[in-house]
């Protein structure tokens, strides 16, 4: 009725359906009376946009967001799209000088306004001061948030300059300026420092590096590409004729599919291929065990068509009640999610080898510890020993499910050319993915090439072949055209991985001298529809109590399967364990660093603890604050260790050319941790070449083998191989030089002729017998062999993984301020001391540690997935409801390394990406205890929990 009235009215008013005039009018002034401009649904509009001072013509639909017009329409992919919701700021552009989110702006509103994007900031090939400061402060890792961050920074910089200011911008105002930009990698302190320094016209320095930047340390190699928007991520790949794919997901936590008919979807407009993703099982399909499980996928000419086609798939569910709640899953009468014959359908929650299900004791939905040697008698003997000690602690703790929330969503572009397949993927395992794809499609692995030039964050969620990869590859084959799938953020936060929630009970008995004598640790990991997590392992490796018992259960529920997440199992383990140990220290009234020194047998770990003591200049560590004002502060300590994983078969190719250039290649990845920088640093240091002459090729499965980038394994694997390749190359250069200059003497970086002239390697390269001269070297073995020999990890046959005899150690000390009225916890600063052996690339290493700290703070205070208890659907499917640390809440950081070569790895280094994040949440929790005198051992620690504890 109302609809009709309006149409009549419009008719009466004589609508002019205008396209070009509208675009030119550009929203200026009041419309001319009596005339209705209309943009009718479905009708393309031609626009002339002013982008970075140039006129850009683009055809859009009325609903096209500006971000898509820029990225797809104008092929300017510097501006990123992540949440699509206004919450992350990745799409920030300046509109007439003011930052706006391009995902919520309509392209049709843009004409008549000056749009500036990250691509337009350079002048005469020179970076904008804010861009330069980002490079100098190393204010980025994966770089996916960077274009948006830079734009917010530029807007602040311009306001600051326009006001004629010369004072130092405060943390508060810079924090405000970038409050709408999320960085998942945790570069916030460096970003704030970069913006401050750009305003002041000062050269920025990475803020975590309190001991200064070592001379000659290389800056991040891809920083310039990332601050200018030139770095190409998978979501930026556009191929001619490329189709858009979308995935249909089950909306039920528990259901049996009765009917699945793709026919209606096939007949929808623009649809070019449809595939089933839900695996077939006897007589039907696999049981749906989480809301978000993949059912089918469609490829169409446009994304809108693909989405519309998903809605046409005829799927009928027999919906069953899901077991969502943690407690409900453990009730004796709970429905069994994986009956014995279906245990194989449980996904794998952790990296590393998986053992047959029959080695574990299953009790309904609880998979206990391995039957042997751990699950003996519930550790009653250990409990007796705890009870016999004068100091006893009994602590219960729990952590929420954390999701990876990488800023670049999971994304794949699959492109078949005949029987050869190229897969562009946001992945941390190019080679494993290539072999997985080859298996899945039944083709030789040599026909598959996986490319991952830049990866916008991974953190464990992007290892191996995922459903979106399988879908893209199959759709592309069926459609005979390239297909891109980028998982929308709602699905990404729901179904592509998470860190299990955990519950712990830890009982410790200590003697009067503070030695931990007996530890009994029961841990439960809530892995969704997966098993394989361990959240108690560090309890034994960190403390060598005389008696120890660990029960390490996995509880399955009807929710999305967990996957590895940065240091799987360890952050929750440390959160619980380090609070229990802190409790021992508090009871004894000793400084928690000292208490840990009492336990130490490892001189390296003791050195780390002592260095932390020497570097800490915050509040005393042995006190519980007596202050009862509104804002109270406290400092807390936590420690961690992590394996030194190695890929013994990693190979690096060194290619030298007579014109004096060196290229190092291997199939590793840069997910933001700085692999390019590490390899370049080795090349520069090894041959004494200027950085501009050293090139790195990675992120391509066709390159020499390297393991996936997880578990802090990458540098441990490629660095020794690179060093070996460089050694071989040096021999060749010395030999080649000596042929030309008989009698010349070998020195560190070249030759010295009999006449006393120094010939650097760069010059000797001209004498190489071949051009290019190529050597391929394999990673040499560890001194004294490995602790655990290489084991082929499931689905990653190319890269067996070994465990070195070395370990890495860390201490973190956090200072917090608690608002006793509003319950908010603010982490003021964090000191991190790490033993990661010798550093290959100090700047990016410090950034990794800073990022680990930020993620740890985020885990401690904000992150927690929430599911509807009745359907299992994810209620935190946006970055508004799933909160991540923001810049305004980011602590100051100080990072120190125990710069001492390891004993066993060939390069003397040990990796640090995981260990950087393990201790943080425990340190924060202990600091809160020291501030308010109450323990609230749960993540996320929300204001209401603090207030409840204080009440």
Partner 1 sequence: MPLTILYPSDVAHAVDLHGGADGTEYKAGGTDVVDRHHQGILAPRTLVDLGRLGVLRGVEQRGDGWRIGALTTLLEVAGHEGLGREHPVLRQACDRTATPQVRAMATLGGSLRQKVRCPYFRHPDFTCWRKGGQECFARPGDNHWHAIWDNDTCAAVHPSTPAAALLALDAQLDVHFPGGDQRTVDMRAFTTFDVSDAMADDALPDAALVLGVRIPRPARPTRQAYERASARHLADWADVETAVVLQMDGDVVADARVVLGAVARRPRRAVEVEQRLNGHRLDAAVIADASAHAADGATPLPHNGHKTRLACNTVQATLERLTS
Q: CA nearest 834: which of 908, 771, 767, 911?
A: 911
Residues 6+ apart with CB under 8 A from 330: 364, 365, 366, 555
Nearest-approach distance from CB 111 to partner 1, in angstroms:
12
Nearest-approach distance from CB 227 to ligand FAD, in angstroms:
24
Closest-by-Cβ residue to ligand FAD is 86
Residue ranges in 857-896 that form contacts with ligand FES under rule CB under 6 A:
none
The rounded distance, in Å, linking the Cα atoms of 785 and 261 is: 56
Query: Looking at beta carbons only, is 261 or 880 nearer to ligand FAD?
Result: 880
Q: CA nearest 371: which of 385, 361, 380?
A: 361
Nearest-approach distance from CB 87 to ligand FAD, in angstroms:
4
Choose one: 138-146, 211-219, 531-539, 722-730; the region binding ligand FES (CB under 6 A): 138-146
Residue ranges in 55-74 that form contacts with partner 1 under rule CB under 8 A:
61-63, 65
Query: Looking at beta carbons only, is 539 or 876 nearer to partner 1?
Result: 876
Query: Looking at beta carbons only, is 159 or 610 nearer to partner 1?
Result: 159
The rounded distance, in Å, linking the Cα atoms of 807 and 641 is: 7
Residue ranges in 165-184 that form contacts with partner 1 under rule CB under 8 A:
175-177, 179-181
Burial (CB < 10 A; 0-12, 13-18, 19+), residue 865, is buried
Helix spans in 331-466 (H): 380-387, 430-441
Partner that binds at residue 924, options ligand FAD, ligand FES, partner 1, none, CB closer than 5 to 8 Å by kind: none
The rounded distance, in Å, linking the Cα atoms of 529 and 775 is: 46
672 sits near ligand FES (criterion: CB under 6 A): yes
Nearest-approach distance from CB 218 to partner 1, in angstroms:
34
Containing H/E element for 725?
helix 714-740
**Taking each helix axis from N to C terminus, what angle separates 920-932 and 943-950, rounded to the nearest 10 degrees?**
40
The rounded distance, in Å, linking the Cα atoms of 51 and 59 is: 15
508 sits near ligand FES (criterion: CB under 6 A): no
Partner that binds at residue 22, options ligand FES, partner 1, ligand FAD, none, CB closer than 5 to 8 Å by kind: partner 1
140 sits near ligand FES (criterion: CB under 6 A): yes
Residue ranges in 874-933 that form contacts with ligand FAD under rule CB under 6 A:
880
- Here's the x/- map for ligand FAD, 72-111, by CB under 6 A: it reads as --------------xx------------------------
Q: Measured on CA atoms in the order 386, 388, 393, 395, is the torsion positive or negative?
A: positive
Partner that binds at residue 187, options partner 1, ligand FAD, ligand FES, none, CB closer than 5 to 8 Å by kind: ligand FES
Q: Measured on CA atoms in the order 903, 904, 906, 909, is the torsion positive or negative?
A: negative
Q: Give the one residue of 22, 87, 682, 887 binding ligand FES; rule: CB under 6 A.
A: 87
Tell me the site size for partner 1, rule CB under 8 A.
90
- Here's the x/- map for ligand FES, 429-468, by CB under 6 A: it reads as ----------------------------x-----------
944 sits near partner 1 (criterion: CB under 8 A): yes
Residue ranges in 77-116 that form contacts with partner 1 under rule CB under 8 A:
84-87, 89, 92, 95, 98-101, 103-106, 108-109
Residue ranges in 775-814 that form contacts with ligand FAD under rule CB under 6 A:
none
For residue 836, what are its two tokens?
């990661």
Cβ atoms 469, 425 nearer than 8 A: yes
Partner that binds at residue 942, options ligand FAD, partner 1, ligand FES, none, CB closer than 5 to 8 Å by kind: partner 1
183 sits near ligand FES (criterion: CB under 6 A): yes
Residue ranges in 622-651 that form contacts with partner 1 under rule CB under 8 A:
630
DSSP code string of 222-280: THHHHHHT-PPBGGG---TT-EEEEEEE---SSEEEEEEE-HHHHTSTTEEEEEE-SPE
The rounded distance, in Å, linking the Cα atoms of 795 and 804 is: 22
- At residue 452, what are phi and psi to the nearest 5 degrees? -145, 80
868 sits near partner 1 (criterion: CB under 8 A): yes
Nearest-approach distance from CB 40 to partner 1, in angstroms:
6
Residue 867: strand pairing partners = 874
DSSP code string of 781-835: PPTT--SEEEEEETTEEEEEEEEEEEEEEEEEEEEEEEETTT--EEEEEEEEEEE
Choose one: 123-131, 558-566, 844-852, 872-880; the region binding partner 1 (CB under 8 A): 872-880
The rounded distance, in Å, linking the Cα atoms of 160 and 165 is: 6
Nearest-approach distance from CB 152 to ligand FAD, in angstroms:
14
Cβ atoms 386, 509 nearer than 8 A: yes
Partner that binds at residue 466, options ligand FAD, ligand FES, partner 1, none, CB closer than 5 to 8 Å by kind: none
- Here's the x/- map for ligand FAD, 288-317, by CB under 6 A: it reads as ------------------------------
- Here's the x/- map for ligand FES, 382-401, by CB under 6 A: it reads as --------------------
Burial code (b: 16+ CB inside 10 Å, e: under 16) for 761-793 equals bbebbebbeeeebebbbbbeebeeebeeeeeeb
The rounded distance, in Å, linking the Cα atoms of 690 and 761 is: 11
35 sits near partner 1 (criterion: CB under 8 A): yes
Query: Looking at beta carbons only, is 47 or 149 nearer to ligand FES?
Result: 149
For residue 41, what are its two tokens?
């649904």
Q: How many CB atoms lie within 10 A of CB 371?
A: 12
328 sits near partner 1 (criterion: CB under 8 A): no
Partner that binds at residue 457, options ligand FAD, partner 1, ligand FES, none, CB closer than 5 to 8 Å by kind: ligand FES
For residue 133, what are its two tokens?
């400061």
Q: Give the one residue of 23, 58, 91, 816 binding ligand FES; rule: CB under 6 A.
A: 91
**The length of the chain, given as a count of residues:** 951
Residue 65: strand pairing partners = 106
Partner that binds at residue 726, options ligand FES, ligand FAD, partner 1, none, CB closer than 5 to 8 Å by kind: none
Residue ranges in 245-264 that form contacts with ligand FES under rule CB under 6 A:
none
883 sits near partner 1 (criterion: CB under 8 A): yes
Judged by the rule CB under 6 A, the positions of this chain that interact with ligand FAD are 86-87, 880
Judged by the rule CB under 6 A, the positions of this chain that interact with ligand FES are 81-91, 101, 103, 140-146, 183-185, 187, 407, 457, 672
């Amino acid at each position: 009725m109302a609809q009709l009235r309006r149409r009549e009215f419009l008719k009466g008013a004589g609508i002019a359906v205008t396209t070009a005039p509208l675009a030119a009018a550009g929203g200026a002034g009041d419309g001319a009376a009596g005339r209705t401009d209309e943009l009718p649904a479905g009708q393309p509009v031609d626009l002339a946009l002013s982008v970075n001072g140039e006129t850009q013509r683009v055809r859009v639909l009325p609903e096209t967001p500006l971000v898509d017009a820029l990225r797809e329409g104008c092929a300017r992919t510097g501006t990123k799209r992540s949440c699509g919701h206004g919450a992350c700021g990745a799409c920030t552009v300046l509109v007439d000088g003011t930052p706006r989110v391009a995902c919520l702006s309509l392209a049709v509103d843009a004409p008549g306004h000056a749009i500036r994007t990250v691509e337009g900031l350079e002048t005469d090939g020179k970076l904008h001061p804010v861009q330069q400061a980002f490079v100098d402060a190393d204010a980025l890792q994966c770089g996916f948030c960077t274009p948006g961050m830079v734009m917010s920074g530029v807007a602040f910089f311009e306001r600051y300059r326009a006001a004629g200011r010369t004072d130092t911008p405060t943390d508060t105002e810079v924090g405000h300026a970038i409050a709408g930009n999320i960085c998942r990698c945790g570069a916030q302190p460096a970003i704030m420092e970069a913006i401050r320094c750009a305003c002041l016209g000062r050269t920025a320095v990475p803020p975590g590096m309190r001991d200064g930047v070592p001379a000659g340390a290389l800056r991040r190699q891809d920083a310039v590409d990332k601050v200018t928007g030139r770095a190409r991520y998978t979501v930026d790949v556009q191929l001619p004729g490329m189709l858009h794919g979308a995935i249909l997901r089950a909306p039920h936590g528990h259901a049996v599919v009765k009917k699945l008919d793709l026919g209606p979807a096939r007949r929808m407009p623009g649809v070019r291929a449809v595939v089933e993703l839900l695996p077939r099982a006897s007589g039907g399909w696999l049981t749906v065990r989480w809301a978000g499980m993949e059912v089918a996928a469609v490829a169409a000419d446009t994304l809108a068509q693909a989405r519309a086609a998903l809605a046409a798939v005829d799927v009928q569910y027999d919906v069953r009640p899901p077991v969502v709640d943690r407690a409900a899953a453990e009730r004796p009468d709970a429905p069994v999610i994986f009956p014995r014959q279906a245990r194989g359908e449980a996904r794998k929650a952790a990296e590393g080898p998986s053992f047959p299900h029959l080695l574990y004791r299953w009790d309904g939905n609880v998979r206990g510890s391995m039957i042997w040697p751990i699950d003996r008698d519930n550790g009653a003997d250990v409990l007796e020993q705890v009870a016999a000690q004068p100091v006893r602690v009994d602590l219960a703790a729990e952590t929420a499910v954390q999701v990876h929330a990488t800023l670049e969503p999971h994304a794949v572009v699959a492109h078949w050319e005949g029987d050869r397949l190229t897969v562009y993927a946001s992945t941390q395992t190019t080679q494993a993915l290539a072999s997985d794809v080859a298996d899945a499609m039944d083709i030789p692995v040599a026909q598959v090439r996986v490319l991952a030039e830049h990866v916008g964050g991974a953190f464990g969620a992007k290892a191996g072949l995922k459903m979106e990869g399988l879908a893209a590859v199959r759709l592309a084959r069926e459609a005979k055209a390239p297909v891109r799938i980028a998982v929308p953020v709602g699905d990404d936060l729901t179904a592509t991985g998470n860190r299990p929630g955990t519950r712990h009970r830890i009982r410790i008995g200590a003697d009067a001298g503070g030695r931990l004598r007996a530890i009994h640790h029961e841990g439960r990991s809530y892995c969704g529809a997966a098993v394989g997590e361990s959240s108690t392992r560090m309890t034994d490796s960190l403390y060598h109590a005389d008696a120890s018992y660990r029960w390490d259960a996995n509880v399955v529920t009807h929710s999305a399967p967990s996957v590895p997440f940065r240091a799987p199992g360890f952050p929750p383990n440390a959160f619980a364990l380090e609070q229990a140990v802190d409790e021992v220290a508090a009871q004894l009234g000793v400084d928690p660093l000292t208490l840990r020194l009492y336990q130490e047998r490892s001189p390296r770990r003791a050195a780390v603890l002592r260095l932390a003591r020497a570097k800490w200049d915050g509040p005393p560590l042995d006190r519980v604050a007596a202050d009862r004002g509104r804002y109270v502060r406290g400092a807390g300590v936590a420690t961690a260790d992590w394996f030194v994983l190695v890929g013994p078969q990693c190979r690096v190719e060194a290619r030298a050319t007579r014109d004096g250039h060196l290229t190092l290649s291997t199939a590793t990845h840069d997910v933001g941790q700085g692999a390019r920088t590490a390899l370049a640093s080795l090349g520069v240091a090894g041959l004494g070449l200027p950085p501009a002459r050293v090139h790195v090729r990675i992120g391509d499965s066709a390159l020499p083998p390297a393991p996936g980038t997880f578990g802090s394994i990458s540098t441990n694997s490629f660095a020794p191989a690179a060093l070996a390749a460089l050694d071989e190359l040096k021999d060749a250069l010395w030999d080649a030089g000596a042929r030309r200059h008989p009698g010349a003497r070998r020195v560190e970086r070249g030759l010295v002729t009999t006449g006393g002239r120094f010939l650097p390697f760069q010059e000797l390269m001209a004498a190489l017998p071949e051009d290019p001269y190529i050597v391929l070297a394999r990673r040499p073995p560890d001194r004294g062999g490995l602790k655990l020999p290489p084991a082929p990890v499931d689905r990653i046959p190319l890269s067996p993984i070994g465990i070195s005899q070395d370990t890495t150690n860390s201490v973190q000390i956090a200072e917090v301020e608690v608002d006793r009225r509003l319950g908010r916890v603010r982490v003021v600063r964090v000191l991190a001391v790490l033993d990661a052996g010798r550093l290959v690339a100090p700047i990016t290493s410090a950034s990794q540690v800073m990022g680990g700290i930020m993620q740890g703070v985020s885990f401690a205070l904000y992150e927690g997935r929430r599911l509807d208890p009745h359907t299992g659907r994810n209620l935190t499917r946006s970055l508004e409801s799933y909160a991540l640390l923001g810049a305004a809440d980011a602590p100051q950081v100080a990072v120190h390394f125990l710069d001492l070569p390891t004993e066993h790895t060939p390069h003397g280094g040990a990796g640090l990406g995981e260990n950087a994040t393990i201790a943080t949440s425990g340190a924060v929790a202990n600091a809160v205890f020291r501030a308010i005198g109450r323990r609230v051992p749960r993540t996320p620690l929300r204001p209401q929990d603090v207030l409840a504890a204080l009440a």
